[in-house]
Amino acid sequence: MSAIFDIELQDAGLLQRDETSEDDSSDVIEIGAEECDAVLDVNEIVNSYCGSDAVETVAICEHNVNRDCGRLGPQDFELCKVIGKGGYGKVFQVRKKTGNDRGTLFAMKVLRKASIIRNQKDTAHTKAERNILESVKHPFIVDLKYAFQTGHKLYLILEYMCGGELFRHLNDEGIFLEDTARFYLCEIILALEHLHLQGIIYRDLKPENILLDAEGHIKLTDFGLCKEHIQEGAVTHTFCGTIEYMAPEILTRSGHGKAVDWWSLGSLMYDMLTGAPPFTSDNRKKTIDKILRGKLILPQYLTPDARDLVRKLLKRQVAQRLGSGPLDGEQVKIHRFFKHIIWEDVISRKLEPPFRPKLTSEDDVSQFDKKFTASAPIDSPVEYTLSESANRVFQGFTYIAPSILEDVYTQQSYLTAMSPPQVIRARSPRKAMRGFSPRTTHFHLHNTHLQTHRHNGVSHGNIEDAEMIEIG
């Protein structure tokens, strides 16, 4: 198998191995924009640059470079079903058609570049999602297998989670027994702890972002774009999202740290045990008000340990909140609610999942919303042309998971050396409902009193003023 180089054709016409590029990790050969002609150009340049007959020149083409993964594109995936849809793109259940992992099911997130680059924050979030998913490998965080792009679209090939959202399951059950909630909380705590160790604040913990695998273990997903519907070309945008699980310091924009995730964990725990998040109302403003000032009401039927943990996680004063100190998740893990938990067993997925998704076949999509799965799986063509400069925004998007490369390329250290900087990110809003009857109140913004800013003549609700801080 050929070595994997990051090759860029420079304007000067020289072929360079780009080791110093500021651009984040492009791990495979990316020549031009997936054009075969560009491959020929490379060979011509190699010949003229080397300029000697003594040098053996090897044609660089798909037949001898990265055969399994180097020129991966949409053509390598069969579209099976739609499992998610939004203003920016779609999520498909796909089956790999080529390579060693042929036949494997994946979730393919397809995003339209033109929709994303309209907004700087969306562009940053999309890059952040790709970077975070590349750098984070954990049993309870969804794994990014490949990333690639065409002239118009970005593709993330993610581990397929056949059990769908925990949200759906929670919705069906109404409430969970404490043992059930404890199982999910344990796995979530380890995922959050891992993210924090890497300098990443998740910020978006809610049942919709927790997916179930075939056995019933969970993985966190969604590290990037908001999924709200944005009507193409419309001047008024509807912003949707869930704020019920958000920490007060996010809503007041008074500066926040990793402790926001422990607040969200408290809200999620409350939701699991009582059937709704702790602070809800029929409109967004009142919900915010309750999160900031509302009295926490704990039902009688909760055990003292559960009550105590919820209370300690839902402390408005960050310094008093469990998990806010330097010990982070450790402080949560040693709480009495988890007294019988052997944490080594949790990380090695030895805890018995309380619920196993009922599937009739490997590709059964009954756990996903019919509203999506009933629609034809088409990766719609794009008619317009994206400018070269617009396209440059996404340079270095391409990625292949080390786990996949292990099969074809053993020098994994190369990839590690090419890792992009870690990114602390803040969250993005979420599409409300997605076909379910609401258990919680979601907000819709139509240029309301919320702070808004204008971008490209388009008004955006600005509640999610997320920023990225590069730390490495």
Q: Which of 25, 60, 71, 86 binds ligand FS9 (CB under 6 A)?
A: 86
Residue pair 180/355 in contact by the 8 Å Cβ criterion = yes
Q: Does 124 bind ligand FS9 (CB under 6 A)?
A: no
Q: Which of 205, 211, 269, 273 binds ligand FS9 (CB under 6 A)?
A: 211
Q: Which of 28, 225, 250, 291 binds ligand FS9 (CB under 6 A)?
A: 225
Q: Which of 27, 29, 69, 90 binds ligand FS9 (CB under 6 A)?
A: 90
- In angstroms, give the least distance from the CB of 90 to ligand FS9: 6
Q: Does 210 bind ligand FS9 (CB under 6 A)?
A: no
Q: Which of these segments, 179-187, 220-228, 298-306, 388-396, binds ligand FS9 (CB under 6 A)?
A: 220-228
Q: Which residue has the tokens 């999620």?
A: 268
User: Total residues at the site for ligand FS9 (CB under 6 A)?
Assistant: 21
- In angstroms, give the least distance from the CB of 407 to ligand FS9: 21
Helix/strand/coil (H/E/C) assignment for every residue in 192-236: HHHHHHCCCCCCCCCHHHEEECCCCCEEECCCCCCCCCCCCCCCE
Compute the residue count for the chain: 472
Residue 81: phi, psi to the nearest 5?
-145, 155
Residues 430 and 223: their CA atoms lie apart, in Å, by 11
44: tokens are 């011509």
Q: Which of 8, 60, 84, 420 binds ligand FS9 (CB under 6 A)?
A: 84
Q: Which of these segments, 95-103, 158-166, 236-244, 315-323, binds ligand FS9 (CB under 6 A)?
A: 158-166
Q: Does 160 bind ligand FS9 (CB under 6 A)?
A: yes
| 253 phi-psi bin (left φ>0, alpha ψ -120 to 50, beta other) | left
- In angstroms, give the least distance from the CB of 160 to ligand FS9: 5
3-state DSSP: the chain helix, strand, coil percent, rounded to 5?
A: 30, 15, 55
Known active-site residue 305: no
From the candidates 122, 204, 261, 271, which is the catalytic residue? Answer: 204
- For ligand FS9, give the closer residue by CB, 258 or 430: 430
Residue pair 8/21 in contact by the 8 Å Cβ criterion = yes
Q: Which residue has the tokens 């009507």?
A: 231
Q: Does 161 bind ligand FS9 (CB under 6 A)?
A: yes
CA–CA distances in Å: residue 149 to residues 42, 142, 397, 439: 20, 20, 7, 37
Long-range contact list for 311-318, CB < 8 A, 24+ apart?
312/266, 313/262, 313/263, 313/265, 313/266, 313/269, 314/263, 314/266, 314/267, 314/270, 314/278, 315/263, 316/248, 316/292, 318/247, 318/249, 318/256, 318/257, 318/259
Alpha-helical segments (H) within 334-458: 343-347, 370-373, 388-392, 402-408, 413-417
Q: Which of 145, 227, 312, 321 binds ligand FS9 (CB under 6 A)?
A: 227
By CB atoms closer than 10 A (0-12, 13-18, 19+), residue 281 is middle
- In angstroms, give the least distance from the CB of 85 to ligand FS9: 5
Our measurement of the distance from residue 252's CA atom to the centroid of its chain's CA atoms, rounded to an integer in Å, reads 25
Q: Which residue is nearest to ligand FS9 (CB)?
A: 84
Q: Does 221 bind ligand FS9 (CB under 6 A)?
A: yes
Q: Does 268 bind ligand FS9 (CB under 6 A)?
A: no
- For ligand FS9, give the closer residue by CB, 214 or 408: 214
Taking residues 136 to 155 in sequence order and writing x for each that binds ligand FS9 by CB under 6 A, - otherwise, the string is: ------x-------------
Q: Which of 159, 187, 379, 464 binds ligand FS9 (CB under 6 A)?
A: 159
Residues 203 and 256: their CA atoms lie apart, in Å, by 10
Taking residues 405 to 434 in sequence order and writing x for each that binds ligand FS9 by CB under 6 A, - otherwise, the string is: --------------------------x---
Q: Does 83 bind ligand FS9 (CB under 6 A)?
A: yes
- In angstroms, give the least distance from the CB of 204 to ligand FS9: 12
Tell me which residues touch ligand FS9 (CB under 6 A). 83-86, 88-91, 107, 109, 111, 142, 158-161, 211, 221, 225, 227, 431
Which residues are known to be catalytic? 204
